[in-house]
Structure 1
Amino acid sequence: MKKTFSLQLSPEEAYDEANFKRSVLKKAGLRVDTPYTFARQTRRSIDARGRKVLVNVEAELFINESPGSLLDHFPEYKNVSQSSPLLIVGAGPAGLFAALRAIELGIKPIVIERGKDVRARRRDLAAINKEGIVNPDSNYCFGEGGAGTYSDGKLYTRSKKRGDIRRIMEILVAHGATEEILVDAHPHIGTNKLPVLVAKLRESILDAGGEILFETRVEDLILEENEIKGVITHTGEKIKGIGVILATGHSARDIFHLLHHRKVLIEAKPFALGVRIEHSQNLIDRIQYHCEIDRGPYLPASAYSLVQQTDYQGKQRGVFSFCMCPGGFIVPAATSPGELVVNGMSPSRRDSKFANSGMVVSVELEDLPQFQKYGPLAAMHFQAEVEKKAWEMGGKTQVAPAQRMVDFVNRKVSSSLLDTSYQPGLESVEMREVLPDFISARMAMAFKAFGQKMKGYLTNEAQLIGVESRTSSPVRIPRDKESFEHPQIKRLFPCGEGAGYAGGIVSAAMDGERCAEKLIEMYVKR
C-alpha cells in the first residue's frame, strides 16, 4: 500500500533520513518501529520567509510494498551504425541530447566538437587557471559537455514543459546523476560530478553506433542552392549528412563570423553584461536563513535571486543576479587570448566558503549606437570590446579587475581586496573604467536597492570581479517557430544557447531533443 503526504518539516527532519522516516510514520499515525515500511521524498523546497526555516516536502510511504524506482523513462538506444548520418556541431547539452534523441529515433548522429574530451580538457583548464594560457579550442566553454560540464550543474529552468523537463532529468539520472535532482525544487549536480556524467552520455552515443569527433573545428559549410549538405573541418575534410543541427554555444564567435561571411541570415540579439559578486557564504546564509552564527549541519548553502529596474538617461533597464553559485568558485572563462571573462561554478556539496553570483545589466541594441556598423554582429563586438578592456585593466593576464562593493558605489578604488576563490588572482581597479557608463551607473543604483532588500548584502566585505559577459548569446540564428528550420537554409537547424533559444543545461538539452525530432520528421522517410 502507498500513501502520499504533504509535510512541513524542520531541516533536521527533512535532511536526516532517520528523522524524516519518523516524521512520515507519525503523520500516518503509525508507530516508529512499524515493520516493512519505506518512506521517500518526491519533492522538496526550502521556505525561509519566516524567522524559522521550514522545508516543504511531498512524501510517499510504502507499507508492505516495494517502492520501485522514481524513474518513468528508461532510455533504450538501439544500434544505428548503419543508419543515415545526422550532423551535430557542438557537444554541449544541446548537442549531446540531440544525438541521444536521434539514436532513439533510429538515426546515426555524428557529433563534431572543436574541443577535447572531458578528461583531456582538464589540462587546459589548469593552464588558464595557473598560467593564464587560453587555448581557443579547449577551455571552460569549449570541449566535451560545453560550458555546462565545469559549472554548478544547475538544472532549473523557466520552461513550463514539465514532462519534457522530467524526461531530461531522468536521462541524467540514468547516466549517473543522483535521484536527488528529481526531488529538489532547485536541483544541481556539481562540477565535480558532471565530467563523469558527461563521459557516460558519450559512451551511450558511441555504444549505439554514433560518432563523436573531438578536436575537430568546423570552418565552412557545404551549401548548394540554399540547402546545407554538410560541413568542412579545419583539416579540409568534408562531412555530409541528412541535415545539420548547429549547437555551438554562446561563445563560438568564429561560427557567427562564418555565417555572416556566407550570408546566412543572423541577427543581433539583446543580452546582459556585468560582473561576478563574491560574498562569504556565511554572510549570505546569515541573511537568508536569519541565523546568528551559521546555518548548521542540515541546511544547504543558501542562494539568492535579486532584480531591480533602473532608470538611466530616461531608459529603463533591469539589473539582476544570474547563475548564483552557493559555496562556489569563480573561474576564468575566456575563449581567446587577449580577453578576460569570469563565470561561476559549484561542487556538489557546495562547501566552498564563498558565494558568488553574476550581477548583470540588460543590454538592448539601442544602447549600442556606435556598434551598429557591425550589423548582426553589433552586440558581439560590444561584448568583445568590454572583455578586452577587462584584460588590459587586469594586467594583460587572466588576473581579473576587482573592487570592493561599497567602494564601487562610492567611486573609490579599493586600497585592498578580500580573499577570493578566483585562482588567477585580482587587481584593484576602478570598475567604472572597465564597464561602460550605462552599465556601471545602473549597477550602483541597484546595489543600494539590494542592500535594502537583503540587509547586509551591500557591504565592503563583498567585491566585484569582472567581467561577466557570457550570460547568453549576443547573436540569434533565426528559425521557423514550427519547424525549427532556418528560414533561408534548408536542413539547417539552429539549436541551444548559441542560436538564442535556450539558457542553461535543461533548456538546451530540451531544445536539442526538439531539433533532432523536427529534422528527422521532415527529412527521414518512414
Structure 2
Amino acid sequence: MKKEFSLKLSPEEAYDPELFQQTLLKRAGLASDFPQAFARQTRRSIDARGRKVIVNVEAELFIHEKPGSLLDHSPDYPFVGNAEALIIVGAGPAGMFAALRAIELGIKPILIERGKDVRARRRDLAAINKEGIVNPDSNYCFGEGGAGTYSDGKLYTRSKKRGDIRRIMEILVAHGATEEILVDAHPHIGTNKLPVLVAKLRESILEAGGEIHFETRVEDLIIKEDEINGVVTQAGDQIHGIGVILATGHSARDIFQLLDRKKVFIEAKPFALGVRIEHAQNLIDRIQYHCEVDRGPYLPASSYSLVHQTQFQGKQRGVFSFCMCPGGFIVPAATAPGELVVNGMSPSRRDSRFANSGMVVSVELEDLPQYRKYGALAAMHFQAEIEQKAWQLGGKTQTAPAQRMVDFVKKRVSTSLLDTSYQPGLNSVEMREVLPPFIAERMAMAFTVFGQKMKGYFTNEAQIIGVESRTSSPVRIPRDRETFEHPQIKRLYPCGEGAGYAGGIVSAAMDGERCAEKLIEAYAKK
C-alpha cells in the first residue's frame, strides 16, 4: 500500500533520513519503529522567506511493499553502426543529447569535438589555473561535455516543457547521477561528479555504434547549392552525413567567423556582460537563512537571485545575478591567449567557504553603435575587446582585475583585496577601466539596491572580479521556428547555446534532442 503526503518540515526532519522516516510514520499514525515501511521524498524545496526556514516535501510511504524506481524512462540504445549518419559539431550537452536521441531513432551520430576527452582535458585546466597557459581548443569551454562539464552542474531551467525536462533528468540518472536530482526543486550535480557522468554518456554513444572524434576542429562546411552535406576538419578530412547539427557552444568564435565568411545568414544578438561577485558563503547563509552563526548541518549552502532595472542615459537595462554558485569557485574561462574571462562552478557538496555569482548588465545592440561596422559579429567584437582589456589590466596573465564592492561604487581603488577562490590570483584595479560606463554605472546603482533587498550584501567584505562575459552567445544562427532548419542552408540545424536557443545544461540537452528529431524526420530514409 502506498500513501502520499505533503509536508512542511524543519531542515533536520527533511534532510536526516532516519528522522524523516520517523516523522512520516508519525504523520501516518504509525509507530516510529513500524516494520515493513519505506519512506521516500519525491519533491523538495526550501522556503526561507520567513524567520524560520521550512522545507516543503512531497513524500510517499510504502507499507508492506518496497518502492520501485523513481525513473519513468529507461533509455534504450540500439546498434546503429551501419545506419545512415548525421554530423554533430560540438560535444557539449546539446551535442551529446542530440547524439543519444539520434541513436534512439536508428541513426548513427558522428560527433566532432575540437577539444579533448574529459580526462585529458584536466591537464589543460591545470595549465590555465597554475601557469596562465590557454589552450584554444581545450579549456573550461571546449572539450568533452562542453562548458557544462566544469560548472556547478545546475539542472533547472525556465523551459515550460516539463515532460522533456523529466526525460533529460532520467537519462542523467541512468548514466550515474543520483536520484536526488529528480527530487530537489533546484537540482545540481557538481563539477566533481560531472566528468564521470559525461564519460558514461560517451560510452553509450560508442557502444551503440556512434562515432566521436576528439581534437578535431571543423574548419570548413561543404555547401553546394545552399545545401550542406558535410564538414572539413583541420586535417583536411571530409566527413559527410544526411545533415549537420551545429552545437558548438557560445564561445566558438571561429565558427561564427566561418559562417560570416561563407555568407551563411547569422545575426548579432543581445547578451549580458559584467563581473563575478564573491562573498563569504557564511554571510550569504546568514542573510538568506536568518541565522546568527551558521546554517547548521542540514541546510545546503544558500543561493540568491537578484535583479534590478536601471535607467542610464535615457535607456533602461536590467542588472541581474547569473549562474550563482553557492559554496563554489571562480575559474578562468578564456578560450584564447590574450583574453581574460571568469566563470563559476561548485562541487556537489558546495562546501567551499565562498559564494560567487555572475552580476551582469543586459547589452542591447543599440548600446554598441561603434561596432556596427562588424555586422553580425558586432556584439562578439565588443565582447572580445572587453576580455582583452581585462587581460591587460590584470597583468597580461590570467590574474584577474578586481575591486572591493563598496570601493567600486565609491570609485576608489582598493588598497587591499580579500582572499579568493580564484586560483590564478587577483590584481587591484579600478574596474571602470575595464567596464564601459553604461555597464559600470548601472552595476553601481544596482549594488546599493541589492544591499537593501539583502541586508549585508552590499559590503566591502565582498569583491567584484572581472570579467563575466560568456553569459550567452553574442551571435544568433537563425532557424525556422517549426522545422529548426536554417532558413538559407538546407540540412543545417543550429542548436543549443551557441546558436542562441538554450541557456544551460538541461535546455541545451532538450534542444539537442529536438534538433536530432527534426533533422531525422526531414532527411532520414523512410
Q: Which amino acid aligns with 1:15?
A: Y
Query: Structure 1 stretch 28-37 or stretch 310-319: which is displaced more?
Result: 28-37
The answer to whether residue 194 in structure 2 is matched with residue 194 in structure 1 is yes
What is the SS of the residue equivalent to 1:88?
A: strand
Q: What residue in structure 2 maps to residue 234 of structure 1?
A: 234
Whole-angstrom distance in 2 between the partners of 1:128 and 1:500 = 27
What is the SS of the residue equivalent to 1:438?
A: helix
Whole-angstrom distance in 2 between the partners of 1:478 and 1:129 = 36
Q: What residue in structure 1 maps to residue 441 of structure 2?
A: 441
Q: Which amino acid aligns with 1:307?
A: V
What is the SS of the residue equivalent to 1:324?
A: strand
Q: Which runs of structure 2 are paired with 1:241-260 in the superposition (5 Å)?
A: 241-260=241-260
Q: What residue in structure 2 maps to residue 107 of structure 1?
A: 107
Whole-angstrom distance in 1 between the partners of 2:86 and 2:407 = 54
Whole-angstrom distance in 2 between the partners of 1:126 and 1:525 = 46
Q: What residue in structure 2 maps to residue 140 of structure 1?
A: 140
Query: By how many angstroms is 1:33 displaced?
Result: 1.2
Q: What residue in structure 2 maps to residue 477 of structure 1?
A: 477
Q: Normalised by the size of structure 1, how large is the TM-score?
A: 1.00
Query: By how many angstroms is 1:278 displaced?
Result: 0.1
Q: Which amino acid aligns with 2:447?
A: F
Whole-angstrom distance in 1 between the partners of 2:497 and 2:3 = 41
The answer to whether residue 325 in structure 2 is matched with residue 325 in structure 1 is yes
Q: Normalised by the size of structure 2, how large is the TM-score?
A: 1.00
Describe the superposition over 1:286-333 as per-residue Cα deviations: whole angstroms up to 9, x where unpaired.
000000000000000000000000000110000000000000000000
Whole-angstrom distance in 1 between the partners of 2:29 and 2:432 = 62
Q: What residue in structure 2 maps to residue 313 of structure 1?
A: 313
Q: What residue in structure 1 maps to residue 274 of structure 2?
A: 274
Q: What residue in structure 2 maps to residue 71 of structure 1?
A: 71
Q: Which amino acid aligns with 1:358?
A: G
Whole-angstrom distance in 2 between the partners of 1:209 and 1:274 = 43
Q: What residue in structure 2 maps to residue 461 of structure 1?
A: 461
Q: What residue in structure 1 maps to residue 415 of structure 2?
A: 415
Describe the superposition over 1:155-197 as per-residue Cα deviations: whole angstroms up to 9, x where unpaired.
0000000000000000000000000000000000000000000
What is the SS of the residue equivalent to 1:230?
A: strand
Whole-angstrom distance in 2 between the partners of 1:45 and 1:79 = 40
Q: What residue in structure 2 maps to residue 304 of structure 1?
A: 304
Query: By how many angstroms is 1:24 displaced?
Result: 0.8
Describe the superposition over 1:337-375 as per-residue Cα deviations: whole angstroms up to 9, x where unpaired.
000000000000000000000000000000000000000
What is the SS of the residue equivalent to 2:58?
A: strand
Whole-angstrom distance in 2 between the partners of 1:480 and 1:487 = 6
Q: Which amino acid aligns with 2:410?
A: N
What is the SS of the residue equivalent to 1:188?
A: coil
Q: What residue in structure 2 maps to residue 97 of structure 1?
A: 97
Q: What residue in structure 2 maps to residue 25 of structure 1?
A: 25
Q: What residue in structure 2 maps to residue 157 of structure 1?
A: 157
Query: By how many angstroms is 1:525 displaced?
Result: 2.5
What is the SS of the residue equivalent to 1:70?
A: coil
Q: Which amino acid aligns with 1:373?
A: K
Q: Which runs of structure 2 are paired with 1:320-399 in the superposition (5 Å)?
A: 320-399=320-399
Q: What residue in structure 2 maps to residue 120 of structure 1?
A: 120
What is the SS of the residue equivalent to 1:166?
A: helix
Q: What residue in structure 2 maps to residue 130 of structure 1?
A: 130
Q: What residue in structure 1 maps to residue 168 of structure 2?
A: 168
Whole-angstrom distance in 1 between the partners of 2:269 and 2:16 = 47
What is the SS of the residue equivalent to 2:39?
A: strand
Describe the superposition over 1:457-490 as per-residue Cα deviations: whole angstroms up to 9, x where unpaired.
0000000000000000000000000000000000
What is the SS of the residue equivalent to 2:297?
A: coil
What is the SS of the residue equivalent to 2:379?
A: helix
Whole-angstrom distance in 2 between the partners of 1:58 and 1:282 = 29
Q: Which amino acid aligns with 1:376?
A: A
Whole-angstrom distance in 1 between the partners of 2:297 and 2:66 = 31
The answer to whether residue 497 in structure 2 is matched with residue 514 in structure 1 is no
Q: Which amino acid aligns with 1:445?
A: M
Query: Structure 1 stretch 30-39 or stretch 274-283: which is displaced more?
Result: 30-39
Q: What residue in structure 2 maps to residue 295 of structure 1?
A: 295
Query: By how many angstroms is 1:263 displaced?
Result: 0.3
Whole-angstrom distance in 2 between the partners of 1:28 and 1:308 = 45
Q: Which amino acid aligns with 2:495?
A: C
Query: By how many angstroms is 1:446 displaced?
Result: 0.2
Describe the superposition over 1:362-397 as per-residue Cα deviations: whole angstroms up to 9, x where unpaired.
000000000000000000000000000000000100
What is the SS of the residue equivalent to 2:7?
A: strand
Query: By how many angstroms is 1:65 displaced?
Result: 1.3
Whole-angstrom distance in 2 between the partners of 1:17 and 1:229 = 55
Whole-angstrom distance in 1 between the partners of 2:254 and 2:415 = 40
Identity score, percent: 85
Whole-angstrom distance in 1 between the partners of 2:62 and 2:474 = 51
Question: What are the ranges of 5 or more consecutive residues in structure 1 without an aligned counterpart?
Answer: none
Describe the superposition over 1:116-162 as per-residue Cα deviations: whole angstroms up to 9, x where unpaired.
00000000000000000000000000000000000000000000000
Whole-angstrom distance in 2 between the partners of 1:439 and 1:336 = 24
Q: What residue in structure 1 maps to residue 401 of structure 2?
A: 401
Whole-angstrom distance in 2 between the partners of 1:397 and 1:525 = 52
What is the SS of the residue equivalent to 2:6?
A: strand
Root-mean-square deviation (CA, aligned residues, Å) is 0.3
Q: What residue in structure 1 maps to residue 81 of structure 2?
A: 81
Whole-angstrom distance in 2 between the partners of 1:164 and 1:125 = 32
Describe the superposition over 1:390-447 as per-residue Cα deviations: whole angstroms up to 9, x where unpaired.
0000010000000000000000000000000000000000000000000000000000
Q: Which amino acid aligns with 2:493?
A: F
Whole-angstrom distance in 2 between the partners of 1:348 and 1:84 = 39
Q: Runs in 1 of length 4+ with deviation above 6 angstroms?
A: none
Whole-angstrom distance in 1 between the partners of 2:35 and 2:162 = 35
Whole-angstrom distance in 2 between the partners of 1:237 and 1:185 = 46
Q: What residue in structure 2 maps to residue 14 of structure 1?
A: 14
Describe the superposition over 1:78-113 as per-residue Cα deviations: whole angstroms up to 9, x where unpaired.
000000010000000000000000000000000000
Q: What residue in structure 1 maps to residue 54 of structure 2?
A: 54
Q: Which amino acid aligns with 1:138?
A: S
Query: By how many angstroms is 1:26 displaced?
Result: 1.0
Q: Which amino acid aligns with 1:37?
A: A
Q: What residue in structure 2 maps to residue 178 of structure 1?
A: 178
Q: Which amino acid aligns with 1:412?
A: R
Q: What residue in structure 2 maps to residue 496 of structure 1?
A: 496
Whole-angstrom distance in 2 between the partners of 1:326 and 1:319 = 20
Describe the superposition over 1:210-254 as per-residue Cα deviations: whole angstroms up to 9, x where unpaired.
000000000000000000010000000000000000000000000
What is the SS of the residue equivalent to 1:452?
A: helix
Q: Which amino acid aligns with 1:115?
A: G
The answer to whether residue 489 in structure 2 is matched with residue 486 in structure 1 is no
